[in-house]
Chains A and B, each alone.
Chain A
Amino acid sequence: MEFFKIKKDIPFMKNALVFNAISFVTFALAVFFLFSKGLHLSVEFTGGTLMEVSYSQPADLNKVRATVGTLGFSEVQVQNFGTARDVMIRLPAQKGVSSAQQSEKVLTALKADNADVTLRRTEFVGPQVGDELAHDGLKALAFVVVGIVLYLAIRFEWKFAVSAIIANLHDVVIILGFFAFFQWEFSLAVLAAVLAVLGYSVNESVVIFDRIRENFRRFRKMSTVEVIDNAITSTISRTIITHGCTQIMVLSMLLFGGETLHYFAMALTIGICFGIYSSVFVAAAIAMWLGIQREDLIKPLKKDNDPSDENAGAVV
């Protein structure tokens, strides 16, 4: 089987401007929604109490809402979770109340109303923890960005490092944009997915950059644009197959993983789709705008320093 029967190099870079314009518009939209709608942060970040209760019969949400409402909480969210019998209740953090008791109060009230309710899960997070998590998340993001830029700058060249990180941060912003637009719940698991995507789609750029470097070395007469086109064309089959395989896994999580993994898998799906796009079209294009050339990658002094030989010691 072969899906990719490509006869000639596809002139990706000829249309670089169009691709960049598309990315820019998507990016701008994502930023717009992030600011206008904001992220729907989970209890982990905002602090508060989350309860999951289950009834033996489909639950009457209005009744549950009314029962919880009588306890005097403001801004209570009650919604179905997974099935009609499972209900999720979200209570905001209350200042001054040692809110570890909140869940107990609510459960007692619900039990008084309908005895067959069972508590499946509660989660209480104090406001100070939420703040910390948000900070830690930002720190982790900064660490990843700096680490990847440094590594790529050492292994390749700063122009590649910069273009790879721009392309992939653009993915991250777009994922966040989706979460803001659809008001999907942004939890810690989603944050983990976002960071994993960041590392994963840099992969993609690395594969293409690797090819660009190799092509510079092999085809001395090709122009930079041709080299990039050839590199993308010859890696496109692996790009699509790899991402397809990863997506199979993610799809499996989306189908079988249940509610808990739903948004995690969602973030990964968006990340994978835009990851292909951004590393193929955006990263290479930015590298081209930044003016990469043969001399950047092939240091005249270390002529026979082939990177594939450098590590070949491990493989005989």
Chain B
Amino acid sequence: MNRYPVWKYAIIVIALLLGVVYTLPNFFGEAPAVQVSSGKATIKVDTGTLQKVEDALKAASVVPQSVALENGSIRARFGSTDEQLKAKDAVQKALIPDAADPQFVVALNLVSRSPEWLGALHAAPMYLGLDLRGGVHFMLQVDMQAALTQRVESLTGDLRSLLREKDIRHGGISRNGQTVEIRLRDAQQLEATKRVLSAQFPDLQTQDAADGAEFRLTVSNKPEAARKVQEQALKQNITTLHNRINELGVAEPVIQQQGLDRIVVQLPGVQDTAKAKDILGRTATLEVRMVDESTEARAAEQGGIVPFGAERYLEREGRPLIVKKQVVLTGDNLTDAQPGFDNQTQEPVVNLTLDAKGARIFKDVTRENVGKRMAILLFEKGKGEVVTAPVIRSEIGGGRVQISGRMTTAEANDTALLLRAGSLAAPMEIIEERTIGPSLGAENIAKGFNSVTWGFLVIVAFMCLYYAMFGLVSGIALAVNLLFLVAILSMLQATLTLPGMAAMALALGMAIDSNVLINERVREELRNGASPQAAIHAGYDRAWATIFDSNITTLIAGVALLAFGSGPVRGFAVVHCIGILTSMFSAVFFSRGLVNLWYGSKKKLKSVSIGTVWRPEGSSVKAD
């Protein structure tokens, strides 16, 4: 009656094997490493870069334990921190000739020392949260109202020029909050306006009202268009943040959207919050200027003196370009930049959208400069770079500009990205900030580890004393529970925090409940005179319903924490929930397997080792 079929043992063995394999990486510790990743959207880390890194290391006579290219970054592992620092200098010198213009991010990092075959199985150590490894955490709130207002502001200008173009007379256009109000003299004009609007701006909705003898037309973004603006603003801010954080040289930055209007930035290992904040809050600007094509300028490109009223900037390919100092347009006038394809030639292009003021200026400038080149420059940290410098083919009106010619699709994408990244779509504010020093992180790990270890040992000792053999089984089941918990956390790469470690300790403390329930039940059955085999069977069966019910209620609390919690609470909840699930497996299914293996095959079992089975008659029977 207490036998498991082979397949149940197979499940246990497979689960244990998986548990061991995925827990293993946590024991190898971490080795100092140098990580190289791309510093710009246009630069890719490839085998060529790998070769350069290897050469640089060889030249500096630093021998790495391993160098590998994975997920778009190169990681070189070293035996000591001294070698790591030496290697970083060497690699930096080789890959970044110009410190003012870093193409790659060379950062110090820690990588798992676990052997390669574990890596091949995607077995990695648990991902430690900032409170355990040290670093900075920011939560930024994007001011969506400002993003929308900005959009409506430029819309106001667009509408004004559109109505002028279509020869519709109006009594004034003004922005009122997130809407634009147009005053119109008669019904005819009103109809004409509505017709033009629905043809040209499908994203707008209108509402008209009679205002005395005049009409008032209220124009606003459709809800889905407003949502799109917000989504884009957020995405653009995240892209911009990515570009900026690359400069900090952080090995594994986390930049994530949270909710509708928040961005979480986590920089492990960074201690200098002042610099981080400075970089996060910096604004970049975009400028459109004319290229100086005089003979002096041509000569200056080759290295001559830059003519008066002009400046030398580098193109992305590194070629110098002489650009006039006079600014034609700034990034404020650019409302959007998207990659696309030309309707006729099907070649990749970048489509720019300018606001009304920008369109007007652009029209004038292009009319006067057909056949000449204009440059679009991106300024960041006071340093300019030419994003693109196209030739003007004809006069461009209407504010829709297409940049085409000798571009691949990837280049078009990158150019559009750079143009958009020129400025943050909407202002951001830091609403949460956490810094954890590296020593504190290590201390926290030790604290969590000690709590779990000591609690675990004392419980197991007690169980063995009190329940003898069954106590030992419970203890082993508890150890297996811990194994599964760590394995699953490593597998999911869920972030482990100090509250998470507390949850781990608590999960073990609660998991023993199931075993106590079973053991008490078995004792009770024995006390009531059941045979040992029957007692084991009835004990496990009767206890199961209770264990199930009580774990479900605990799980409800865990899920609530997971759903509504944030930050530390979430870290707690994840481990708590997983702990409850693994405990059901280890405490019931696994411990039963052990008991079955030990006692199940003994046909004439006289007694079970479950400590004292005391009977009220006063005749205490030691059931050993």
A residues contacting B by CB (< 8 A) are 1-2, 5-8, 44, 52, 98, 100-101, 103-104, 118-126, 128-129, 133, 136-137, 139-141, 143-144, 147-148, 151-152, 155, 188-189, 191-192, 195-196, 198-200, 202-204, 206-207, 210, 214, 234-235, 237-238, 241-242, 244-253, 255-258, 260-261, 264-265, 268, 307-308, 310-312, 314-316
Contact = CB atoms under 8 A, between A and B. Distances in A.
Contacts of A214: 542
A140 B447 contact: no
A118 B447 contact: no
A210 B462 contact: no
B569 A191 contact: yes
Given A119-B437, A253-B502, A308-B544, A195 B431 contact: no
A104 B274 contact: yes
B564 A311 contact: no
Interface string B521-562: 000100000000000000011101110111111111111110
- 7 smallest CB-CB distances across A and B, nearest first, come from A199-B557, A249-B509, A252-B455, A126-B431, A249-B455, A256-B450, A246-B509
B517 A242 contact: yes
Contacts of A192: 499, 561, 565, 568-569, 572-573
Nearest to A236: B520
10 contacts: A125-B432, A126-B141, A140-B565, A192-B565, A196-B503, A234-B524, A241-B466, A245-B459, A252-B458, A256-B447
B561 A196 contact: yes
A129 B259 CA distance: 12
Q: Helix, strand, loop or mixed for chain B's interface?
A: helix
Nearest to B555: A199
Interface string B147-171: 0000000000000000000000000
A90 to B, nearest CB: 14
Contacts of A125: 431-432
A280 to B, nearest CB: 15
Contact of B502 (A189, A312, A316): A189
Interface stretch (B221-229, B339-347, B366-374, B609-617): B609-617
B432 A200 contact: no
Interface string B428-469: 011111111101100110011011101110110011011000
A256 B565 contact: no
Interface string B85-104: 00000000000000000000
A147 B556 contact: yes
A237 B524 CA distance: 11
B565 A248 contact: no
B560 A195 contact: yes
Given A124-B430, A189-B499, A210-B546, A199 B558 contact: yes
B498 interface: yes
Nearest to A202: B553
A210 B588 contact: no
Indicate the member of B4, B437, B557 with the most A CB atoms within 10 Å: B557
Contact of B516 (A104, A188, A242, A314): A242
Interface in B488-518: 498-499, 502-503, 505-506, 508-510, 512-513, 516-517
Q: How large is the interface on B (under 10, 10 to 19, 20 to 34, 35 or more residues)?
A: 35 or more
A261 B542 CA distance: 37
A121 B130 CA distance: 11
Given A133-B566, A246-B509, A316-B8, 12 more contacts: A2-B613, A44-B567, A100-B430, A125-B432, A129-B432, A238-B520, A249-B455, A250-B506, A261-B502, A265-B502, A311-B545, A314-B544
A85 B285 CA distance: 47
Contacts of A119: 435, 437
A258 B447 CA distance: 7
Given A200-B554, A203-B553, A189 B568 contact: yes
B6 interface: no
Nearest to A52: B440
B563 interface: yes
A144 B560 contact: yes
Contacts of A200: 510, 554, 557
A268 B433 contact: no
B553 A148 contact: yes
B282 interface: no
Contacts of B569: 188-189, 191-192
Interface string B566-587: 1111001100100000000000
A195 B4 contact: no
Contact of B429 (A98, A103, A248, A253): A98
A272 to B, nearest CB: 9
A144 B550 CA distance: 14
Contact of A2 (B443, B463, B557, B612): B612
Contacts of B520: 235, 237-238, 241
B216 interface: no
Contacts of B614: 2, 5
B330 interface: no
